[in-house]
Amino acid sequence: MSSDVKVSPRKLNGAVRAIPSKSQAHRALICAALADKPTTIECEGGSDDITATLDCLSALGAKIERESSVYIVSPLKRDAHDIATLGCGESGSTFRFMLPIVGALGRKASFVLKGRLPERPLSPLYEELVRHGAELSPHGVVPFFTEGKLAPGHYSLDAGVSSQFISGLLFALPLLDGDSELQLTGKAESFPYIELTLAMLEIFGIRTEFKDNVFYIHGRQIYRSPGTAHVEGDWSNAAFWLSAGAIGSGSITCTGLNLKSKQGDRAILDILTKFGAHIEVKENDSTVTVSGGKLRGIEIDARDIPDLVPILAVVGAKAEGKTVIRNAARLRTKESDRLAAVNAVLRELGADANETADGLVIHGSTVFKGGQVSSCGDHRIAMSAAIAATVCAEPVVIKGAQAVNKSYPGFFDDLRLLGPLVEAVKV
């Protein structure tokens, strides 16, 4: 993929198959590496983030083989004493999941972090790990070093910072020598991602109890391989195609989606319906078809669906009236400051958009003019800009379009199949 890509506006029509859920793949691969025997993970395709998790698990001694559309994962080494070098790339999930796991295993490790990942929040997970026996480098240092073995006991996290901190401890605490409690304080953000973790843990035989904002977790549990685990289609990335159908003059069908998924971004269907898009669901075929309607502005609480904000902002700019997106302040610490980046893209294309402290206000029904925008090194900004380009008056050049490789390397190939002219730009 060239670093810059030009997308020329064309009517979109057709079908695209949802790629495997990145969130679910991380979780399945980690559980498989911690299991008692090999596991086959059914997962078509991959991405830079998934590669980061695979590399970390391999560095800890797991044997991972790729055969056709599956990963065969043999468990990591529990008795190793060498210093493992774990390359996390720019994957926040990989780093925040693996850090507690390494502590639970009592391993020494050096984490290699890229992009904005060293700057992204690590508190209060950092302090809780130190309080329970981990020795960690100062926050922001690269490579980031850890040693020491976590002790069981009472852990407490502010649930409003990152669900990834909670998931990381949910993976780690069952491995400890005694029972633990994980107390959540504050209002939980992105709780559906925690539910994804709990569902995968259950598949691998790990039990937790949740009562009054406290997880009760027995120690010395054994991750038991189910033999085979399936990674379902990704609602987060399908949202780009479904939104393209909502703002365009054609219709887009997305296949391979679990209509009963625990993925929080399945909410895209309800949100597009509220905007006024026409949606047809065929549950037996795992397909969703979206076509445009008379779109109208709405209010969106993004607390549980932060990854949808960039593309929903594009839909809001094409809807009549005002769209308000709230409770999205955490997007300022993603691969880019996503609120600033989305706002910049929309304004560059001619939309009436403004940032707030925790979201965006968009006055829609905009005629996008085309031009040049930056991905800001962020996969979701690049994909949102590309979808916006399909309804512009003139072509759009997306600078740094290779950012899509983080989650969806084949994005522009799939976009091209739906109709638009997609060209690499020679720099």
- The catalytic residues are 307
> Which of 181, 124, 121, 110 shows the shortest CA–CA distance to 151?
181
3-class secondary-structure state, position 25 = helix
Q: What is the 3-state composition of the chain as percent helix, strand, coil, each rounded to the nearest 5? A: 35, 25, 35
Residues 6 or more apart in contact with residue 295 via CB below 8 angstroms: 246, 247, 275, 276, 277, 315, 318, 319, 320, 364
The identity of residue 394, as a single letter, is E
Q: How far apart are CA 84 and CA 56, in angstroms?
A: 8
**E-assigned strand segments in 292-366:** 299-301, 322-326, 352-355, 360-363
Q: How many CA atoms lie within 13 A of 403 on its CB side?
A: 21
From residue 402, alpha-carbon distances to 50, 259, 307, 332, 379 in Å are 16, 30, 18, 21, 8
For 189-248, the DSSP string reads SSHHHHHHHHHHHHHTT--EEEETTEEEE-SS--B---SEEEPPB-HHHHHHHHHHHHHS
Closest CA to 60 of 83, 38, 42: 83
| Distance from C-alpha of 71 to C-alpha of 69, rounded to nearest angstrom | 7
Element (H, E) at 50: helix 48-59
Tell me which residue has tokens 């072509």. Answer: 395
Sign of the alpha-carbon dihedral angle for 276, 407, 264, 363 = negative
Q: Order of strands, edge to edge, in the sheet holding 287-291?
A: 14-17, 251-255, 287-291, 278-282
Residues in the chain: 427
Helix (H) or strand (E) holding 164: helix 163-172
For residue 290, list its beta bridge partners.
Answer: 252, 279
From residue 302, alpha-carbon distances to 254, 265, 305, 382 in Å are: 23, 10, 5, 20
- And the tokens for 174? 């069952």
